[in-house]
Structure 1
Amino acid sequence: MTIILYNPKSRLGNNQKLLHKIETMIRNQGDAVVLKNVLTIGDTDGFLEQFKATDRFVIVGGDGTLHQLVNAINIHQVSQDVTMVQAGTGNDFLRSLKSKDTLISIKQSLMDLPHVVHQDKKQYFINGVGIGLDGYVGHIVDESRIKKSKLGFFKATLKGLASFQPIQMTLKMQDQHLEIKKTWFVAVMHSAYFGGGMKIAPNASRSSKTLEVVVVKDCPKWLLFIIFPTIYLGWHKIFKSYVEFYQTQEINISTTKKTYAQF
């Protein structure tokens, strides 16, 4: 049996045709199909107990759907195979796996995810954590009428660049302590990509426990408008005076005033 987990809000709710296509494809292979809206899963333990180890899960959604699931279900308690169909807005998680399959196996990539603790709440993250401008852009997308698409993210970033002011941050890593007075943003990455294909952390790897920390600092605002498009290709690393990269397994970040964060 195949259990299709879908998010009706993923990709602005326009996944019905894709959902039907995947369901039909699996049924034509002779397998029974159960559809389950991830927003209606309450008792996760009870939900998992309904199925046999020989069944499989297919997730139809994007990064937001997957983030919700990994923080609701202990992947180590899932005996079934877990695959995913690219059906979100950003799809940075699947982009990092570099697979051309329709159903992409993802279980192994979820087994040892990093986590963040904020206000005593622990959350696993699948791609990265952004603090500062990155978090502010996510806030703009969530709170405005801007569509959650690549173009929408681009527009939100331009809007964020125009109004966000850099802040002072303190970064404590395993062997380094940084005090940065004019920080635009810090991204702590488990994957190379964020923001729908922006290659922010070119050296980040899912197969490693080491995180790549990207710091954008001390940069005049006009230059940020030039740096920003280069991130899509990972070329921002040439701006060495303003963009710095660090490798660490643990990091503590504090700010002198409240700011935005995105997981």
Structure 2
Amino acid sequence: MQVLFIVNEAAGNGKGKKVWRQLQRHLTIDYQVVFTEYEGHGQRLAQLWAQYAQTKKLFVIVGGDGTIHEVVSGVVHNEYIVIGVVPAGSGNDFARYFTTFQNAIQIEAYIQGNMSSLSMDAGTIQLGELQHEIFVNNAGVGFDAFVTKYINKSRLKFYLNKIGLGKLSYAAAVVKGLFSFERFDVTILANNQQWQFKQTWFVAISNHPYFGGGMKISPCSKPNDEKIELTIVHGISRLKLLLVFITVFFGKHTKFKEITFLQGNAFEILLQSQHIDCHTDGNYIGEIGQGMNIHCAVQREAWQVVAEETNNIISQ
């Protein structure tokens, strides 16, 4: 099996570079390596290296959730590419559910073994008539995307990463954003049914349980069940929302009456407000205006991920 490492040295405020250097020192297999240089480069590199594949290739991503999002976006529905990950981001939500590599020994043992892989779904989100994105973990409309935009613009994540607390950047941004975000009304359509929600904080669209550095926002989500889940937080005070976010880390938020869960294979989200932020896998993708609709769905068996060996050589 050919092995390509796709490395984001800037992931986790430089953690990607440190992880790669440590990993590289212990690799004894033949491999190739490329480095991402700008936002979106991971997708371009993955497309380039995957386009002529005629046999199985292992793409090992050294980076965080954003880099994983880019690479998977570049190889969807390519039967020859298997995705492996060495976590090197600040939140690493992908690694909380999927099998990942922790060192060179595990990578080499995988290649020398039966190289098991599993097919996974991908979520899709389309903003209006134009922008179309996939997501591996989750997408979001509203407060969670607002927080993502704030993190990307501020230096908060940079400084928390410096002191080894990068996973707290999302939680810290939530607290700061609680007092400036404007709630909105939303209508959701699916299978000839309609739901209306007032004073909505956000709609999280999940293919995977975790977001925001360990928050178990969608406990029932499975990335291979051909479904996506919506978590709608609505009609709740700012103070109570803070309590909800604390309980999300333990998956206990499901008991709040102000949180609604929907499951299906496709949804239409109609907004009654202007300038609502959106994200995919923690990457801010822009705003959607009043009267525009968001279409989200699932693509079944869209990509392949390494599977845990029976002798537990790979950690999960």
Per the TM superposition, whether the score is higher than 0.5 is: yes
Gaps of 5+ in 2: 159-165, 281-316
Within 2, Cα distance between the matches of 1:200 and 1:93?
13
Within 1, Cα distance between the matches of 2:242 and 2:52?
52
Conserved? CA contact 2:87–2:100, under 8 Å? no
Q: Which amino acid aligns with 1:62?
A: G
Within 2, Cα distance between the matches of 1:25 and 1:52?
29
TM-score by length of 2: 0.74
* Cα distance change of structure 1 residues 138 and 46 upon mapping to structure 2, 3 Å threshold: closer
Q: Which amino acid aligns with 2:83?
A: V
Which residue of structure 2 lines up, in the alignment, with residue 132 of structure 1?
A: 142
Gaps of 5+ in 1: none
Conserved? CA contact 1:174–1:249, under 8 Å? no
Shift in Å at residue 44 of structure 1?
5.4
Which residue of structure 2 lines up, in the alignment, with residue 221 of structure 1?
A: 238
Which residue of structure 2 lines up, in the alignment, with residue 200 of structure 1?
A: 217
Within 2, Cα distance between the matches of 1:217 and 1:113?
26
Conserved? CA contact 1:48–1:78, under 8 Å? no
Match of 1:34 among 26, 29, 32: 32
Which residue of structure 2 lines up, in the alignment, with residue 123 of structure 1?
A: 133
Q: Percent identity?
A: 27
Say what the alpha-carbon RMSD is for the aligned residues.
2.4
Which residue of structure 2 lines up, in the alignment, with residue 158 of structure 1?
A: 175
The CA deviation string for residues 78-112 of structure 1, in whole angstroms up to 9 with x for no partner, is: 524431111112111221126676459896355x3
Shift in Å at residue 76 of structure 1?
3.0
Shift in Å at residue 145 of structure 1?
1.1
SS across alignment from 1:89: coil
Determine if the alignment matches structure 1 residue 143 to structure 2 residue 153. yes
Which residue of structure 1 lines up, in the alignment, with residue 266 of structure 2?
A: 250
The CA deviation string for residues 138-175 of structure 1, in whole angstroms up to 9 with x for no partner, is: 01101111116221111101011121121111111224
| Structure number having the greater strand percentage | 2
Determine if the alignment matches structure 1 residue 114 to structure 2 residue 126. no
Within 2, Cα distance between the matches of 1:216 and 1:209?
24
Q: Which amino acid aligns with 2:34?
A: K
Q: Which moved more, 1:33-42 or 1:186-195?
A: 33-42
Which residue of structure 1 lines up, in the alignment, with residue 312 of structure 2?
A: none
Shift in Å at residue 7 of structure 1?
1.0
* Cα distance change of structure 1 residues 214 and 58 upon mapping to structure 2, 3 Å threshold: same
Shift in Å at residue 127 of structure 1?
0.8
Which residue of structure 1 lines up, in the alignment, with residue 247 of structure 2?
A: 230
Which residue of structure 2 lines up, in the alignment, with residue 6 of structure 1?
A: 7
TM-score by length of 1: 0.88
Q: Which amino acid aligns with 2:9?
A: P
Conserved? CA contact 1:84–1:106, under 8 Å? no
Within 2, Cα distance between the matches of 1:262 and 1:100?
27
Q: Which moved more, 1:170-179 or 1:191-200?
A: 170-179
Indicate the structure whose relative CO is greater, using CA pairs within 8 Å and at least 6 residues apart.
2
Which residue of structure 2 lines up, in the alignment, with residue 88 of structure 1?
A: 89
Aligned length: 257
